[in-house]
Amino acid sequence: MDLQLDGKTALVLGASRGLGRAIADSLAHEGADVITVARSAIEDSAYRHITADLDDPAAPAQIIAAVRAAGRPLDILVLNSGGPPTGTAAATTPSDFASVWGRMFNAQLTLAQAFLPDMRERGFGRILAVASTSVVAPIPGLVLSNAVRAALASWCKTLATEVAADGVTVNLLLPGQIATDRLTSLHEAMAQGSGMTKEQLTARSMAAIPAGRLGRPEEFGDIAAFLASPRAGYVTGCAIKVDGGMTASL
């Protein structure tokens, strides 16, 4: 299938590795012109790259200026950020939420609102937000991720209804257990004090996945590329789980 992404320009946040990099690679493979964003330079990348740290309140303005300086309108925006630390609901404080809110919500909203008017005027735009299956089934020990990603999901769903008639789609991708460095670090953190090794915890996680394995980053990236394409013009306001069937809810 030709995804008709030739000539489309995409901006992918958090693209130095993991799911963000997988999305950038899939989009580029399908012909899109990809601009990546990460807090550090990407030495092995052929993409145009913007070095910016979303924890810095000035980062969104820096990114917006750099994209506009490239001289091409933005067709695809992939909202993605590093995950927050682990923690329990009982022990998490307002300051803990404040420490991640700017990166995981404010920066995403600011970037989307900056590029939306042009997308709507041209009658084409794709906004994808990488969230987590915790949006539909909160994950124990990840209260910051559960709460902040749920807020972003609700904002995206509301936005989707507002811009659908203008040819702009807004969707969420909900990764489950995908083989990335982030998953490894989460398993290491969860293994501490549990009486299990990281390897044992990973094996237990895999046993709970109906597909019987971890997901591959490129599988996730390919789903994002389809949703970003003109072929997916009638798919909007959706939260699509990519989890091997693990999450119980529909």
pLDDT at 205 over 90: no
pLDDT at 163: 98
Average pLDDT of the residues in 219-233: 98
pLDDT at 46: 82
Distance CA(205)–CA(197), nearest Å, equals 12
Average pLDDT of the residues in 187-208: 79
Angle value at C-alpha 21, between 39 and 149, nearest 5 degrees: 75
pLDDT at 190 over 80: no
Q: Which of 14-23, 34-43, 91-100 has the lowest mean pLDDT?
A: 34-43
pLDDT at 53: 95
pLDDT confidence tier of residue 91, bands split at 50, 70 and 90? very high
Q: Which of 170-179, 185-194, 238-247 has the lowest mean pLDDT?
A: 185-194
User: If DSSP codes are grouped into helix, strand and coil, which group holds residue 163?
Assistant: helix
pLDDT at 77 over 90: yes
Average pLDDT of the residues in 11-36: 96
pLDDT at 159: 98
Distance CA(203)–CA(201), nearest Å, equals 5
What residue spans define the domains of the chain?
9-176+216-242, 177-214
pLDDT at 250: 76
In the chain, what percentage of residues exceed pLDDT 70?
99
pLDDT at 195: 78
pLDDT at 90 over 90: yes
pLDDT at 122 over 90: yes
Give the predicted TM-score (pTM) of the model: 0.93
User: If DSSP codes are grouped into helix, strand and coil, which group holds residue 21?
Assistant: helix
- How far CA 196 is from CA of 3, 177, 192, 203, 232, in Å, comes to 44, 18, 8, 11, 43
| Mean of per-residue pLDDT scores for the chain | 93
Distance CA(133)–CA(241), nearest Å, equals 6
Determine the topology of domain 9-176+216-242 in CATH: Rossmann fold (3.40.50)
